[in-house]
Structure 1
Amino acid sequence: MLSLFFKSDAPQNESGWKNDKFDQLLLAARGETDEARRTQMYADLQTMVHEESGIAIPYFMSSLDGHTRKLRGLSPIPLGGLMGFSFAEHVWLDA
């Protein structure tokens, strides 16, 4: 994702952010075989994106909840929205 969205010449670089140090470190990290060193390099790249780039990453939830007094069986479960996505097995409409 770093190569697709943040490298200076990336076609999806929507913010137009250009940073030669980032580009060089990214290329070096992609070729690094030492796992610990590569991990640190990618952490440094992410820090650079966080502190220096000009992009916001919004979060969009793609679900809608509706409610009616006829709805029965719906209860909160801490596994996720809509009863951990098993709501269809436990919810019904009262006549």
Structure 2
Amino acid sequence: MPELSQPPSIRDLRVTRGLTWIADRLASTHPGFTMTTTDRESTAREYVHTHYRDDRAANSAMWDLRDALPAILPGDTHDEYAARIRLHIQEVSA
């Protein structure tokens, strides 16, 4: 993420928007279900496919989201993982 004195880049804004969408989606879709890597990947892929038409931009966005998403901790539910994504967006460790 950029220094506080610098405005966020377009890439940072794009990643933040994607992470927010993914967190909202996970929290609203079976929030008590155990979080899996398949859930993380499919939700990120759903975001990319619904927001990007150009394959190059979609591929770039997907890699940026994969890099930005936090690791899944044992026992995480969709809701807990979504909360950790939101903390990650705010640059807070959990």
Q: Which structure is richer in relative contact order (CA contacts within 8 A, separation 6 or more)?
A: 2
- Decide which structure has greater helix share: 2
| TM, length-normalised to structure 2 | 0.30
Rg larger in 1 or in 2? Answer: 1
| TM, length-normalised to structure 1 | 0.29
- Decide which structure has greater strand share: 1
